A and B are shown apart, each in its own frame.
Chain A
Amino acid sequence: DGGITQSPKYLFRKEGQNVTLSCEQNLNHDAMYWYRQDPGQGLRLIYYSQIVNDFQKGDIAEGYSVSREKKESFPLTVTSAQKNPTAFYLCASRATGDGNQPQHFGDGTRLSIL
């Protein structure tokens, strides 16, 4: 079955360390997104990519970086510059041929600070 796979499910970061969250999709979607979810704040957009080798900052991009070298993959790096990284991170993808298409989500990665 097609879907979005996020790994790992749980991740721990030490102070000053960069960590990378994986997101892979086999839905053949062009657009991919990273969201951060904190209790009571809904989802906030970190980065998004509409096509390979292109991506744009979302609302809270500071302290994060991404790459989009392959259509299937959109990894997110949480850098040491992100001072409050503890959150639930969700990856999503969407078909762009039809403007009405919804976003499909992975099961998330929970990042905590050691």
Chain B
Amino acid sequence: AQSVTQPDIHITVSEGASLELRCNYSYGATPYLFWYVQSPGQGLQLLLKYFSGDTLVQGIKGFEAEFKRSQSSFNLRKPSVHWSDAAEYFCAVGPGGYNKLIFGAGTRLAVHP
């Protein structure tokens, strides 16, 4: 079955520290992978996406993610976290050429000053 797992429900980091949010997926073919961010009471904003090619993708707000096929992972990273990065982050996988997305349960990020 197709699924997305975000193992960490909550993560707390200090401002200026590095960040890595984990995402593992289960999918039978080459997936399309996405990371979205959601601020409280808001919709989801796309941070980055991976379809093919270079396995390290750059996104907005200084985020990057690396696709590792052997580990079925698509972890999100940021070298130095800002207080404004506090939000909930969702990883999603899409069947190639189709319209539905499968979302993980999300990781809530808190940033300490």
Contact = CB atoms under 8 A, between A and B. Distances in A.
B68 to A, nearest CB: 20
B95 to A, nearest CB: 9
A72 B22 CA distance: 36
B11 interface: no
Please report whether the interface of chain B is mostly helix, strand, loop or mixed according to DSSP. Answer: loop
Interface of A: 4, 6, 31, 33, 40-43, 45, 48, 50, 58, 90, 92, 94, 96, 99-100, 102-108, 110
A43 B34 CA distance: 14
B: contact size bracket: 20 to 34
A43 B99 contact: no
Contacts of B42: 107-108
A108 B90 contact: no
28 contacts: A6-B43, A31-B99, A33-B99, A40-B105, A41-B105, A42-B90, A42-B104, A43-B44, A43-B90, A43-B103, A48-B100, A58-B100, A90-B44, A92-B44, A96-B99, A99-B32, A99-B96, A100-B49, A100-B51, A102-B49, A103-B101, A104-B46, A105-B44, A105-B45, A107-B41, A108-B41, A108-B42, A110-B41
